[in-house]
Structures are given as structure tokens and as C-alpha cells.
Amino acid sequence: MDRRYFGTDGIRGEIGTYPMTPDFVLKLGWAAGKVLANQKNPLVVIGKDTRISGYMLESALEAGLVAAGVNIRLLGPMPTPAIAYLTKTFRASAGIVVSASHNPYQDNGVKFFSSNGTKLADETELAIESYLEQDIVTVKSSKLGKVVRVDDATGRYIEFCKRALPSDIKLEGLKIVVDCANGATYHVTPHILSELGADLITVANSPNGLNINHECGATSLDMLSKQVILHEADLGIALDGDGDRLMMIDHTGAVIDGDEILAIITKHRMNDETSGQDIVGTLMSNLGLEQSIEGMGLNFHRANVGDRYVMEKLIENNGILGGESSGHIIIRDRIETGDGTIAALQVLRAVIETGRSLHELKHVMTKYPQTLINVDLSGSVDVESNNQIQQAVNDAETQLGKRGRVLLRASGTQPLIRVMVEGQDENETAMLAAGIAEVVTAEATAAS
């Protein structure tokens, strides 16, 4: 069966537009509760990021779950990975996050974690969707769920993150600028870094419900880059609105993306043999990352785009480290989901233990120039079976040889074909990408 509502990362949309409406989310809570109701003493933990609509959706979920007879622990504003961790800590049946991650405040979403802190299985999501087609039936009053607010959730997660580093690692002597994206890490990550001894400058940590991800955070790095240079800091840390992405800035103001972060962590953890033999990236991971990992004598695997697919590939290969260029980094021997703060601490450990700057460490891989062109589909065209498009791709791949690669990928949310060409020469990749995009446009127009 195809999912009607669930995407790769829960259900997401603009507030006030179906399905991000209070009535739908109330029913979503009830449907999830019905799926969990067969368990003994079902319990769900709920957390959210800092966008203004979070309170409304949290209340709607709460009402639906209680109506289905499920008990609730409310965590308040917390990073997404913290909710995954606390789901396991409380031995909960599931965890729910009210967040639209790196999206602007007008959007929101609902995503679920299983009892072991991973994304829900497909069959569970389909079971929830089946109940969405039914009318809400409230359990007897004696069976209604109970709601308790957890007052020490922040402290629990802070201590968990600090334990991700050896006890003898301190950050004294490091000047760090951290950008919290006015999101869910605003009251967590600065405390962790300060308690570990860093000389800390914190920016974008005053959420007002409307400023989450606005010109700040992991998807908007100009401000952080300027702050690192202004304060003559050693490095900058940028998280997104729900804290599961990490991007970094070196002391020169240059961006360190998810591919480089994954390479740095992998290389450093080879010293104590905790990197594992199988590292997972995605179809969009830079070719330089693949070559770097293979140069370390490790195996590199490409998953579909999306952290849930990275996790699936890690499980399939019994891997420990994986991630995306966008900054979702999964470190499975620490936590079973992407965690920006945990990933940042792993990089800081490498800086401390090697005595090398982030700028020096990033040279563990050489990034290949990438050209990405989004082609608007005016008609319906199957790029896999279209002879003209495939010929253009084959010609480009022949020209590049082992010096690069070509990827065509349909957008999961828009009528677009993403044409990506990667190679050693920036001008060559731009020319080849433009040529393929021109063919895709022509074939799509002809099909309309």
C-alpha cells in the first residue's frame, strides 16, 4: 500500500492547510493511540520545537491520544533526537515530535519514533493511516489516558550528550560560536558546550515562535560565518530548528558540510576502531567523500536521500556512521537517529585530541565541484526510459569517466527533475549539467 499522509519524515505542511489542521492532528493522535492501545499500559512522549503553532498541535495530539486511552509525558520544547532518546529512557511505546525541522515557522509537522528510538516501521504508519479513515470513538472515562509534564527532560538530555565524550575531554581553550536557529536546541546545546569548558558565543537562541530558521541555523550560514570571523573564534556550530542537522564553520569563515563532517568523524574514530567498516552516505554525497572513505580502507554505501534510508542502509550493513550532505549525521553507537549536537561533539573531540584546527581536519577529503539544476516538468517524462535523456547521460558519463558522476533524481515533493553532475573541473560539470537539463526540458515539453 502507498502512504496517503506519511512522507519520508512524518507528516508536514503549512499550518491551516490540510493536513496541518487541529482537527486532522487530533484524529492523527487518536489513530496512533488506537494502534498502540493493544500494548499494556501504552505510553507516548511528546516534544516540539519552538514554532508558535506547536502548542496548538501538541494539544490536539494530546486530546486524540487520551481519547484512545494512551498515557502521555509532555517534554516541552526539545530537539528531535532528545525525544528519540527519552522515548527509550521512559520505556515508552512511541515518541512524537511536533516540528517541521528546517522549514519556516508557517509550516509544522508530526513525526513518530518507535519504542527503540528509530523511525516507525512502514506497517505501523500504514496501520495509523487505516484508522484515519474511521470515526473517533472515545474510550470509557475510566480508561482515558493521563497526562504528566516532565520537568527534568532538558537535564536528562544534557547529561546524555555529555556522556558521548570521554570524561577526560574538555573544551577549554576553544572559542566556539553556536547558532541555535532560534529552535529547539536554544536551552540545551549552549549549556552542554559551556559545561564542557568552551569559551562560548551563542547566537539565534531567543525563539519567539516566529523566528525559527529565519536567516540563521544550518540552512542559512552567512550570519554564523560572519560571527566566527568577528569574534576570531576557532569554529562555528550551526544546528537547524529541531536540532537533528549540523553544519560547521572553520576559523576562516568557510562552510564544513555534512560530507566533510562525516569524513572527519570517520577518520578520527578509526584510531580506536569505532568507525566500523561500512560507512553510509546518500545518492547526493560528494564523490570526494566516497573516495576518502575508500582511501581509509573502508566500504562506502549510497542510500536514497533521507535519513531514514541512511539508517536502513546502516542496519543492513551493520554500520555505525552515516550521514547526508545536508548535515544529518547518524552515530549509531551513541543514538539511533541524526543528532546535530552529538555529531558536533564528535568533531570537537577530533579537534582536541589531534590538536589540529577544523580547517586542517576538513582536508581529509577533497570536495568535487557539483552542479545541480532543477528542471521544471511541464509534461510527464520518464527519465529512465527516455532514449534521448539516457543518451545525454551516457555521453556525459563517458566524458567524465572515473573523474565524476551524473545523477538524475525526481523530486519527492515538486514536479522537478534534479540534474546533478559532479567532477574535478567546475566548468566541465556546469557545461555537462546544462546540456542534460536542456535535453530533459525538451523531452518534457514534447510530452506535454
Active site residues: 101
DSSP string over 286-346: -HHHHHHHHHTT-EEEEEPSSHHHHHHHHHHHT-SEEE-TTSBEEETTT-SS--HHHHHHH
Contact 74, 148 (CB under 8 A): yes
Measured CA to CA, the distance from residue 47 to residue 82 in angstroms comes to: 9
CA distances (Å), origin 323, targets 99, 263, 270, 337:
20, 10, 17, 10
Contact 292, 367 (CB under 8 A): no
Contact 15, 111 (CB under 8 A): no
Measured CA to CA, the distance from residue 351 to residue 348 in angstroms comes to: 5
Measured CA to CA, the distance from residue 345 to residue 246 in angstroms comes to: 11
Residues 6+ apart with CB under 8 A from 431: none
Q: How many Cα atoms are found within 13 Å in the side-chain-facing hemisphere of 435? A: 18
Which residue shows C-alpha cell 555529555?
162
Where does residue 195 rank: exposed (0-12), middle (13-18), buried (19+ CB within 10 A)? Answer: middle
Contact 141, 135 (CB under 8 A): no
Residue 439's nearest CA partner among 405, 391, 401 is 391
Torsion angle of C-alpha atoms 126, 304, 389, 418, degrees rounded to 10: 90
Residues 6+ apart with CB under 8 A from 52: 105, 209, 210
Measured CA to CA, the distance from residue 111 to residue 91 in angstroms comes to: 18
Cβ burial 415-433 (10 Å sphere, 16+ → b, else e):
eebbbbbbbeeeebbbebb
Residue 421's nearest CA partner among 384, 365, 368 is 368
